[in-house]
Amino acid sequence: MTIVHHGNRGWLPAVLLAAVAAWGLMGSAAWAALAPGYLRCEFRQNPLGIDVTQPRLSWELQSAQRAEKQTAYQIRVASSLERLLSGRVDLWDSGRVASSGTAHLVYAGRPLASGDRAWWQVRVWDRGGRASTYSPPALWSMGLLKPSDWKASWISLENSAEPDAQKHVLPPSPFLRKAFTLPKPVRRAVLYASALGLYEMHINGLRVGGDQFTPGWTDYRKRVYYNTYDVTRYLSQGRNALGAVLGDGWAVGYVGLGGRERYGVGRPRLLAQLQVIFTDGTTQTVGTDRTWRATEGPIREGDLLMGEVYDAARELRGWDTPGGSDAGWQPVTVHASWSGAVEAYPGVTVRKEMELAPKSVKEPKPGAFVFDLGQNMVGWARLKVKGPAGTRVQLRFAEMLNPDGTIYTTNLRGARCTDAYLCKGGAVETWEPRFTFHGFRYVELTGYPGRPGRDAVTGVVLTSAAPRSGSFTCSSPLVNQIQHNVEWGQRGNFLEVPTDCPQRDERLGWMGDAQIFVRTACDNRDVSAFFTKWMVDVEDAQRDGAFTDVSPAVAGGQGTAAWADAGIVIPWTLYQVYGDTRVLQRHYAAMDRYIRFMEEHSSNLLRPAEGYGDWLSINANTPTDVLATAYFAYSTDLMSRIATALGKSDDASRYSDLFDRIKEAFNRAYVSPDGRIKGDTQTCYVLALHMGLLPKELESKALDYLVADIEAKGWHLSTGFVGTGYLNPTLSRFGRTDVAYRLLNQTTFPSWGFSVNQGATTIWERWDGWTPERGFQDPGMNSFNHYSFGAVDQWIYGTVAGIDTDPQTPGFRHILIRPQPGGGLTHASAAYRSIRGLISSSWRVTGKGFDLAVSIPPNTTATVSVPASPTAKVLEGGKPAERAPGLRYLGRKEGVALYEAGSGSYRFQVR
């Protein structure tokens, strides 16, 4: 049977897709002006093995008509696709529900048990009361919901070689297998798999799925995730074989800023359970137990930071097939239990996203060939080689080159970042690693037999596979490259957790970086599931009420201003962007504990002068007590809004009162009567303005001080990690978009454009990571792929292109389209796939005036701000916009004409 991959590990048999088409369900609605599609469960398409017993369902709407809206919906859910399509619904039929809701509709049907499948579809009614046809069907399935559902045991190969930490000699990767017999034809088979470490599962000679680095990174002492795969196509009646390869990963191997075995695991362990349902309805379970066998194989070392060594001569032929031999293999060690809970993986797995071919190959030293991929990336290199048996080819990785053309590796610190391949000899051999990743643009090949061609190396790009949600382009090549660099920084650093850098011996989930970048992250990718998973890590790491500096917590401190505040800022942002109240509910108690921690660790509501401050600012020392107290106020204000969103009115009042008192203390301690703020830095004024900490009468003065400082520095910013993300949005919010554009267009140091002019293809950690005068900055902390300063992308989407959600109606129910042209740009375009559908904004300055094209998804409304002078005519479709269908004229103010727009596409012309 042909299998069509549908979403993240979801599978739909091709014959059933054909049946769906025959029912006429793959096309658009037959009667209504609306058509539902892009069905998701818990933010994901066709997720398998979830453990949310009341999952939330969402869909998008399509319509060719303006001002179209959904007035009702009907969801139906069945235990099989055949039942769903024939109308014999046995799990849930919501009936017709009068509602415009399309996101986070909670399943309210028959309780689902472990392993149950739920096929579902939805139909909707348009504004005229006409029903659509049902959507194409979607699927979710349940995981193993009770500990007793696990019949398998944790197993490992314990008696392999001991690692030599001094020489970075690491233990080989275990290979494990079990042959078994299936006595009957198979109807369905599901594999549940986890590891303390990393795993790769095989069945009958085939690798299962395309996920990398499963089951992901957690605080394994508290929880470890498992993944679920439909493996029906891999199995057949008769003899079969299960196989697994294990890697050290985060649980066993080197983890940033520390050594190995941080979680007390010792050797990687496997937990796997195969559930088989035969055509006659009977079942069989095959799980990890003492009957499995294990051995070492060709992967001699495999570590995320150090690299991977592969000896092809040690390959195990047929090891994962029924006919393979395990003679000489060892019995596995069975472990009674593990302290952490075993739970279904809630996020998006790491996957291969693309491949990069080298742009050039050079030989700066004899025998050392340097491949330039043209793009700083995260992943690994695929090697193609032909050489005598035993030939050792070494690959080293770097982001930059030394002046002599050799690779610059000093900034990698303790990360070896070296792979090696030992040829088995004979034909051309192709290899890529399994259990490591690197951050690099350049690959150095040594030991290669002969002179390698350009095809000897291919860059394989990895990322947590969050769907693309946004795109932006404009008339400025500089700004387009900045956007490109932001996207690639996010692609490389959003790998299981939001890492600070992908190359050196760190790669940690630093909280401050994540909270300042989270809104930009949402613009570029659908990070709803990604951050849903990571927020569990954040709460798991909480200590005595304080959120930690990094999550999972393997380094750093806790309670640090602007870093710990990620525990509140990120859930609030997810609510704003996706309308997700469940993430607020789940982490509400943890957020409340953090507010109480800050109250207890403050003096007269002023936070102490400690922490990282405005990290990596440029000659601008923002006092840490000013910054810390500002964030104390900000998080408290957000908690008041969160409590309001959850209907906790008493809490909302308590937090609001606390915010007012912190604000008063902030002004009394740090703000002069003339509006000067202690420290007198750009970040001081940006934080005070952005967070609403100043009396209204002082805001204009603070803005003047901010702009004056930027001008005094030659129209350059001086902000660090904390201030940069808020800088341009704050300037625009208070009417100085002209200054924001000057900063965006700046090309001399320090600026985004400066790094672009030095050839940057990702965002740098430091404004001065490399300068012509000084060369490389301090190699102790100098990453050339670090997303934090890329937070300007929030402003590019929200102000240059002009797409944002109305903060009063989270989740893009009401959209703000308010582009602010400037900076010499002649056109700009962006598209954003929101939780409710695709939004686009495209403007162009023409010889006749100004054109703005806008698209609003069905079932939403938008306030469109069209730049226009008081005397300019605004046309839509060639006619006065005031009389255009789907638009309501709201008047003019501050250089814009305002319109309330229903869904649909509009083209405004200002003449």
Would you name the residues annotated as active-site residues?
A: 506, 765
For CA atoms 691, 694, 698, 701, give the dihedral sign. negative
Q: State both tokens at 838.
A: 């695709």
Nearest to 93 by CA among 82, 104, 103, 79: 79
Residue 794, CA atoms < 13 Å, CB-side half-sphere: 26
Measured CA to CA, the distance from residue 459 to residue 371 in angstroms comes to 10
Q: How close are the terminal C-alpha atoms of the chain, in Å?
A: 60
Bridge partners of 889, per DSSP, are 899
DSSP string across 636-703: HHHHHHHHHHTT-HHHHHHHHHHHHHHHHHHHHHHB-TTS-BTT--HHHHHHHHHTT-S-HHHHHHHH
Strand order in the sheet with 879-880: 470-474, 827-834, 837-845, 850-856, 904-910, 874-876, 879-880
Conformational region of residue 627, where left means phi above 0, alpha means psi within -120 to 50, and beta covers everything else: alpha
CB 382 within 8 A of CB 458: yes
DSSP string across 240-306: EEEEEEEE-HHHHS--TTS-S-TTS--S-EEEEEEEEEETTS-EEEEE-STT-EEEE-SEEEEETTT
Measured CA to CA, the distance from residue 533 to residue 603 in angstroms comes to 35
The Cβ of residue 146 has, within 10 Å, a number of other Cβ atoms equal to: 9
Q: Using omega within 30 degrees of 0 as the cis cutoff, is the peptide bond preceding 552 cis?
A: yes
CB 790 within 8 A of CB 517: yes
CB 297 within 8 A of CB 173: yes
Phi first, then psi: what are they for 517, rounded to 5°?
Answer: -100, -10
Q: What is the DSSP letter of 789?
A: G
Nearest to 750 by CA among 775, 796, 713, 702: 713
Q: Using omega within 30 degrees of 0 as the cis cutoff, is the peptide bond preceding 608 cis?
A: no
Measured CA to CA, the distance from residue 624 to residue 614 in angstroms comes to 8
Nearest to 563 by CA among 584, 544, 538: 538
Measured CA to CA, the distance from residue 772 to residue 751 in angstroms comes to 15
Q: State both tokens at 341.
A: 């809970």
- The helix (H) or strand (E) run that includes residue 631 is helix 624-645
Q: What's the CA dihedral at 782, 785, 786, 791 to 10 degrees? A: 130
Rounded to 10°, the helix 582-600/566-578 angle is: 150
Rounded to 10°, the helix 721-733/696-712 angle is: 120
- The rounded Cα 153 to chain-centroid distance in angstroms is 32
Measured CA to CA, the distance from residue 532 to residue 46 in angstroms comes to 17
